[in-house]
Structure 1
């Protein structure tokens, strides 16, 4: 069914810069049938839009769908989840006392292998797409499994349900169970080619879904496989690449033993052509200064996954340090190492983890002077984590300037957020106010802080991707 032109009315909030939110109140945004923003008007209601904006756009009143935010609601860009494993969604919250490598063998590989069953894969993938959409995630960078039909199914479901996605068939030919690995580098490349071809045929313009070259991580790939994946990436210069890096101390030691000729974990990827401006590196918890500089020089990006890093006791990534070195960062839920499919929860955890980073090595308190100021600067603000969740994420997944904000020419990937309004009797007006209570005297920055710290999917009322309504809370 073809989209209609759409007029959105109300308050719009988006990131103007890393540390600055822009608030557009009593505003109107017009979105055409392709899902593109064609007008942003301040101090504009429905009457003014029809009288002055529609004629300029050549729109007739009858062909426009009007969506007006109610009292206490605002429009915000859709969240971008830069790293999650769709195949692991049934295991959210299940990691026991494991650390990364034990967790993979105990929980992860058996579940992923089981999704070669088409019915089970459809059940799991449909649910994770619907779940992430319900949390306002309009774009997700997904890892699937080594199974080609299962991976292709995930891409097909993203298309049919309307979620923007990067979908990657996982490549791994060593250090995994015999029942769940590619039999050789050559079979891994052949299977990856087959999945790329399917996804490109399903969405030739890559308007919603793109294949992504996906070495699981260096330890699970032989040197031959990494080299061939680098060659494949060079052969497809528009395709993104995703993998893991420096998540866990034991993992880093393992990489050092497997690739002794390379100076670092980052150097392993760089040597084979997998460290590029199209590369998404998940975690980056323990990067050295030399590695961070190499990542920045190559233009590779980092997906910060604070929930997973805490849950698996991997460590605390130094996001401010990475940003200061010129490394672009976004947020990832890292389901199921992360226990929630909500990017808002990841934003909340990113704030908290940054505070722990600022306290590292400070047994005697924050102290005075320059060191105290440096530690305080490590702490991320509400505005900054919302930037990572939207515009930062867009840059990480290769969609900068296309999604993540409300500028002219950008695509309408957005969510309508509603916060609970407390009345004079102390009751919340309307259903599904969630845990965010707004009394009416809060400033807009205070409301946004309340949303980040207390919000959940109950506050996400509607979601659009490329102008198409893909979720509505009933």
Structure 2
């Protein structure tokens, strides 16, 4: 892994600086400073372009990304269960309760073994970087030191990480072999965890942050939820949890509190700025307003929602309400570690939501209407949208943002994306990359101006 330094990158860049808008910066010069922050973007038609290129070449700071290469911002994955990586793709045909009780909780309990945690987390961070994910928000387990190890792997490998020690303090809502010993210990461990991860940040150029993490309302006591809200308020830490994932959770919270999941989280101090809530498929318009007003964000998990959410998230409606929103893989309820797969699924399920699924229902009654999103909107969710959710200066190639990038070779022998010359403009190039890219196409990954993965060099 290289270190951040002043460089000038020459290449063709695609990004979505605003929702629904894509820009192709062909043969652009993207300049960065010693911190890996973008200082300027110069196009061939701009004044001073030739002089800037020449100066960088003479100084030895020009990085030519090459013919046949296109560059996308690094992906921002807003929801990953890191300890579930070994079971990705396994038992997804089981009901949620069986999947959790028979598969997930026994697996997560294994992370009391620090060496096991180190092996899995090292591989997961590498695999996500290899697929272009440069910023990731992780659930860990109930264990403090093994979850700190996840943050340490992010720091060491160069990924921008946001990591949470999971709280599961309700004996009635969790298995006896895997839960916090008590509410008091869960809160004390969370405070200790926040301090330990904060201590890693000074030596980490791209940044790592602790996240206050109630697994979800059914796994936590009232006292635990309120205590976590207090910790988040006092520390200023990020917050993450699940909200309205499926029918069972939706109904459980109403029976317990007489209010929606969003309202209950808000009342506990957990729905706030720097909060990211996964799924949110059952949000009402009133819930959407609460998200918008509080500054909380939604992590849209289109693949895992198809397995466990019993519905399709109303992305278009929530965006129209001003809700911050990004995209997530939700390993391992989502089987794929690739944000490309989730971009594709986000587009597809939005059309399913709009058109409906039962052909025996009248056409004007079977769908939700006005729900579809485009590939450009899905790319925004995976990059700039995630950045907005986290309030981090990443996700696009604009001055003041970190240079986080994935360099995609469209001419790989076994993964050719060139399209045989039938492209009708840059949007066709982008769509082919979004729909057909595989990890083999991603040759380099840069985070905060540092080269953290070079597949050609590795050979």
Q: Name the SS for the 1:115 alignment partner.
A: helix
Corresponding residue of 1:378: 371
Are 2:344 and 1:348 aligned? yes
Q: What CA distance in whole angstroms lies between the structure 2 residues aligned with 1:285 and 1:373?
A: 15
User: What per-residue deviation string (whole Å, max 9, x for no partner) do you get for residues 116-154 of structure 1?
Assistant: 111110111011100100110000000110100111100
Q: What CA distance in whole angstroms lies between the structure 2 residues aligned with 1:105 and 1:365?
A: 37
The answer as to whether partners of 2:358 and 2:366 remain within 8 angstroms in 1 is: no
Q: Measured at CA, do residues 2 and 384 of structure 1 come closer, stay the same or move farther in structure 2, by a change above 3 Å?
A: closer
Corresponding residue of 1:192: 190
Q: What CA distance in whole angstroms lies between the structure 2 residues aligned with 1:60 and 1:444?
A: 27
Q: What CA distance in whole angstroms lies between the structure 2 residues aligned with 1:449 and 1:468?
A: 27
Corresponding residue of 1:219: 218
User: What is the aligned counterpart of 1:250 among 248, 258, 275?
Assistant: 248
Q: Measured at CA, do residues 333 and 361 of structure 1 come closer, stay the same or move farther in structure 2, by a change above 3 Å?
A: closer
Q: What CA distance in whole angstroms lies between the structure 2 residues aligned with 1:25 and 1:364?
A: 48
| 1:273 CA displacement | 0.8
User: What is the aligned counterpart of 2:432 among 450, 458, 462?
Assistant: 450
Are 2:230 and 1:231 aligned? yes
Corresponding residue of 1:441: 422
Superposed, 1:42-441 pairs within 5 Å as 42-43=43-44, 51-52=51-52, 61-64=58-61, 66-174=62-170, 175-204=173-202, 207-237=206-236, 239-260=237-258, 263-312=259-308, 314-360=310-356, 363=359, 375=369, 377-399=370-392, 402-420=393-411, 430-433=412-415, 436-441=417-422
Which 4+ stretches in 1 moved above 6 angstroms? 371-374
Gaps of 5+ in 2: none
Q: Name the SS for the 2:277 alignment partner.
A: strand
Q: What CA distance in whole angstroms lies between the structure 1 residues aligned with 2:42 and 2:59?
A: 20
Q: Name the SS for the 1:439 alignment partner.
A: helix
The answer as to whether partners of 2:152 and 2:200 remain within 8 angstroms in 1 is: yes
- Relative to the length of structure 1, the TM-score reads 0.90
Q: What CA distance in whole angstroms lies between the structure 1 residues aligned with 2:26 and 2:50?
A: 18
How many pairs align? Answer: 450
Gaps of 5+ in 1: 421-429
Q: Measured at CA, do residues 215 and 205 of structure 1 come closer, stay the same or move farther in structure 2, by a change above 3 Å?
A: farther
Q: Report the aligned-residue RMSD.
A: 2.3
| 1:75 CA displacement | 1.3
The answer as to whether partners of 2:43 and 2:49 remain within 8 angstroms in 1 is: no
| 1:50 CA displacement | 7.3
User: What per-residue deviation string (whole Å, max 9, x for no partner) do you get for residues 312-334 of structure 1?
Assistant: 35321111111112211100100
| 1:29 CA displacement | 0.9
| 1:97 CA displacement | 2.4
Deviates more, 1:286-295 or 1:149-158: 286-295
Q: What CA distance in whole angstroms lies between the structure 2 residues aligned with 1:37 and 1:172?
A: 41
Q: Measured at CA, do residues 78 and 190 of structure 1 come closer, stay the same or move farther in structure 2, by a change above 3 Å?
A: same
Q: Measured at CA, do residues 390 and 99 of structure 1 come closer, stay the same or move farther in structure 2, by a change above 3 Å?
A: same
